């Protein structure tokens, strides 16, 4: 069931029985999806400030819908015969794990099937919310989702219909691991930069630094960025090509350099921008 929207439906199903939200009723008759979608994304999280955003979720009704209409893998072979399972209903979806979530933020859903874990029924309109406060460093946090999907149906064996109840893990021996969503943490000084239409470079943090420091830059498009560090005499002491994404990008620099003042720079197809950093003892 490799489907990003299905997975994000599940990530928003993290249990919190005491909060409430209201789904947008205009999506009641829609196919499975989440609003806002991955293109629009979630609002930026500001460090040390209360954060809350609400989403509307519509879960899929069948395995075919859950798989984005792709029927090519929705067959079960039994004793030489093939059974199409795309019409089997999605009984429920379970969030098994969330990897990479910043500290202090929680992902919650409404109307749980099972209060001991986050399970949402199929063909169901609900809402979800992300809230909390984080002091994690500014940057882009990739989120990995681990999910399971439950279904039931029947297969024919020697002319006899045999009822089947199964889930993704039992059928394939593994859960589905989904990547592609990010949570962006910024602060008041970098928020405008992240949403700007310019190629920009931030001051490294911390500065001065002994060896480990974080360098961030903003780009308008995904391309190769030349990153380099030169000493006070203009000698290149470090150089690397970085594949950038649209928006805020992070370079974690941890190579050992001698004590002194250095210049670090990023270069795209049009310009080079530089800042200074200090390496202390």
Confidence of residue 117 (pLDDT cuts 50, 70, 90): low
Region of 45 please: left (phi>0), alpha (psi -120 to 50) or beta. beta
pLDDT at 176 over 70: yes
Residue 83 DSSP one-character state: E
Question: pTM (2 decimals)?
Answer: 0.57
Sign of CA dihedral 59, 63, 64, 68: positive
Percent of the chain with pLDDT over 70: 82
3-state secondary structure of 273: strand
Region of 25 please: left (phi>0), alpha (psi -120 to 50) or beta. alpha
The full set of domain ranges for the chain reads 4-186, 191-279
Mode of pairing for the β-strands spanning 125-132 and 51-58: antiparallel
Tokens of residue 140, six digits: 């882009």
pLDDT of residue 10: 39
More confident residue, 60 or 235: 235
20-24, 36-40, 118-122, 259-263: which is most confident: 259-263
Residue 159 DSSP one-character state: T
More confident residue, 198 or 258: 258
Give which of 262, 203, 278 is closest to 230, Cα–Cα.
262
Tens of pLDDT, residues 7-42: 333 334 433 334 567 788 888 888 877 777 665 666
CA–CA separation, 51 and 159 (whole Å): 57
Site of tokens 């004793």: 79
Site of tokens 């394939």: 172
Q: Which fold has domain 191-279?
A: Immunoglobulin-like (2.60.40)
pLDDT at 230 over 70: yes
């Amino acid at each position: 069931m490799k489907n990003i929207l299905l997975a994000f439906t599940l990530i928003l199903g993290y249990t919190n029985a005491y909060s409430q939200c209201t789904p947008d009723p205009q999506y009641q008759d829609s196919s499975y999806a989440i609003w806002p979608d991955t293109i629009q994304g979630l609002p930026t999280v500001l460090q040390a400030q209360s954060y809350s955003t609400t989403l509307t979720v519509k879960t899929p009704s069948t395995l075919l819908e859950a798989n984005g209409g792709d029927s090519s893998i929705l067959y079960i072979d039994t004793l030489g015969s093939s059974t199409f399972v795309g019409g089997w209903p999605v009984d429920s979806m379970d969030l098994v794990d969330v990897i990479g979530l910043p500290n202090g933020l929680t992902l919650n859903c409404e109307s749980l099937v099972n209060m001991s874990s986050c399970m949402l029924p199929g063909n169901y309109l609900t809402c979800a919310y992300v809230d909390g406060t984080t002091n994690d460093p500014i940057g882009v946090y990739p989120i990995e989702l681990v999910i399971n999907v439950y279904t039931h149906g029947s297969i024919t064996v020697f002319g006899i219909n045999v009822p089947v109840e199964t889930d993704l893990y039992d059928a394939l021996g593994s859960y589905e691991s989904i990547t592609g969503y990010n949570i962006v943490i910024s602060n008041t000084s970098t928020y405008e930069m992240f949403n700007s239409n310019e190629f920009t470079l931030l001051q490294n943090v911390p500065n001065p630094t002994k060896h480990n420091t974080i360098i961030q830059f903003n780009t308008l498009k995904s391309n190769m960025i030349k990153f380099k560090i030169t000493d006070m005499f203009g000698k290149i002491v470090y150089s690397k090509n970085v594949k950038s994404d649209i928006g805020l990008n992070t370079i974690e620099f941890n190579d050992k350099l001698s004590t002194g003042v250095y210049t670090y720079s990023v270069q795209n197809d049009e310009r080079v921008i530089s800042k200074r950093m200090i390496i202390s003892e």
